[in-house]
Amino acid sequence: MNKILIIMPAYNEAESIRGVISAVNKELPHVDILVINDGSRDATSHIAKGLGATVIDLPYNMGIGAAMQTGYRYAANMGYDIAVQVDADGQHPPDQIKYLIDPAMEKRADMIIGSRFLGSGEYQPSLARNLGIKVFAAVVSMITGHRLTDTTSGFRAAGKETIRFFAQSYPEDYPEVEVLVLLHKAGFNIMEVPVNMEPRVGGKSSITPLQAIYYMIKVLLAVFIDMLKRVKR
Amino acid sequence: MQSIQIFAIIFSIGVFVSIVDLIRRGMLKEQYAILWLISAIVLLVLSVWRRLLDKIASSLDVAYSPSFLFLVAFVFLLLIVLHFSVIISDISEKNKKLSQEIAMLKTSLEEIRKSEKQ
């Protein structure tokens, strides 16, 4: 029997987290949920605890990379076999988690990424965002030699070896994209599976096209630096 | 002796004495003081030993040799600042780890307390 952990980083997600945790509990009653409260000032932590999730309250807002790594360190310490990253904002429908867990249990890859662009997703990103997504996909596919379509997807599952690797080192700035390059350098296998995603429930992502391009350049720079890094497995 | 030379000698002695004093009073750790001490000593040697300074300066085509002292000081400052950046990166990585460990400890402590109550 595989021990499975859902890692859910949350920063001020009181509006949406109740629905997400309840839905995961209903959909997958046998998995544990770990909420990493990244210094929220609202009731996020309180709500999650009330629903029976394990909550780690970070002492200050440490950013997504450090928060996610905390989850992986917990997973490694507690001996979990599979860890699934799920956003607390409701973007990742709990009924899709099984599509990530199944290939992880069959050990078909070390990291399984839920992609919005494989299969029948009706996700329509804005023009600037779409350009960024295409560029990242092309660059990361070229570096890793895997055909990847959704490198910014935070909906992913990691196997035991990968959990241990992340517990040791996890990028801080743009972890979704950077991690793929680091995993490849450390010799891990990456695969994508088609999933559906919802538009986010609470909060909003409001970036202008100019900000999107700036973001793209920063991520690409981080990726090129990662290519120069020495990676220990 | 030119007045610039006197100024350079007094300045480098001043830097050296201040650093030794800071170490003595425990306000500066030795590991962070080494680069400072080396730069003060090099500057002092070059200020006192005018002929060495002239020789190096002319071999680098520096017309006015005291200005070579500024170059030396600048290079040392660059090294010191770079050294600090490395130290800051190391400290922030350790700070991240500490925060993560504390947060995980708090969670397991709460769990132990809860199970004791039951």
Q: Do A66 and B99 touch (CB under 8 A)?
A: yes
- Predicted local confidence at residue B31, as pLDDT: 86
- Predicted local confidence at residue A192, as pLDDT: 95
B69 lies in some domain: yes
Confidence of residue B71 (pLDDT cuts 50, 70, 90): very high
Q: Do B96 and A56 touch (CB under 8 A)?
A: no
- Predicted local confidence at residue A126, as pLDDT: 72
Residues of B in contact with A77 (CB under 8 A): 104
Q: What is the pLDDT of residues B28-46, one digit of tens each?
A: 998 889 999 999 999 999 9
Tell me the residue range of the domain where B62 lies: 3-83
Q: Nearest CB to A55: which of B96, B100, B107?
A: B107
Residue to substitute from A8, A74, A166, interface B, most B β-carbons within 10 A: A74
Instruction: State the total domains in chain B.
Output: 1
Three-state secondary-structure class, residue A13: coil
Location of structure tokens 């909420």? A35
Per-residue pLDDT of chain A (233 residues; tens, 9 = 90+): 789 999 999 999 999 999 999 999 999 999 999 999 999 999 999 999 999 999 999 999 999 999 999 999 999 999 999 999 999 999 999 999 999 999 999 999 999 999 998 876 666 777 777 888 889 999 999 999 889 999 999 999 999 999 999 999 999 988 999 999 999 999 999 999 999 988 765 555 566 778 878 888 999 999 999 999 888 77
- Predicted local confidence at residue A200, as pLDDT: 60
Q: Report the length, in residues, of chain A.
A: 233
Q: Nearest CB to B99: which of A54, A62, A172?
A: A62
The type of residue at B56 is: I
B90 lies in some domain: no
Residues of A in contact with B96 (CB under 8 A): 62, 66, 172
Domain ranges in chain A? 4-228
Q: Do B106 and A55 touch (CB under 8 A)?
A: no
- Predicted local confidence at residue A133, as pLDDT: 86
Residues paired with residue A37 on neighbouring β-strands, in sequence order: A10, A57
Please say whether the structural domain A4-228 has been given the CATH code 3.30.70.20: no
- Predicted local confidence at residue A81, as pLDDT: 97
CA-based nearest residue in chain B for residue A69: B100
Residues of B in contact with A54 (CB under 8 A): 107, 111
Q: Do A57 and B107 touch (CB under 8 A)?
A: yes
Q: Do B104 and A59 touch (CB under 8 A)?
A: no
Residue to substitute from B89, B94, B96, interface A, most A β-carbons within 10 A: B96
- Predicted local confidence at residue A201, as pLDDT: 53
Q: What is the mean pLDDT of chain B?
A: 92
Q: Report the length, in residues, of chain B.
A: 118
Q: Do B107 and A54 touch (CB under 8 A)?
A: yes
Query: What's the CA gap between A127 and A38, in Å, rounded?
Result: 31
B107-to-A45, A53, A118 alpha-carbon distances in Å: 12, 11, 38
Query: What's the CA gap between A143 and A223, in Å, rounded?
Result: 10
- Predicted local confidence at residue A10, as pLDDT: 96
Residue A173: partners with Cβ closer than 8 Å, 6 or more residues away: A63, A65, A218, A222
CA-based nearest residue in chain A for residue B103: A58
With CA atoms as reference, report the closest residue to B46 among B9, B4, B1, B71.
B9
What Rg value do the Cα atoms of chain B yield, rounded? 24
B37 lies in some domain: yes
- Nearest-CA distance B83 → chain A (Å): 19
Assess contact for A178 and A136: CB atoms under 8 A: no
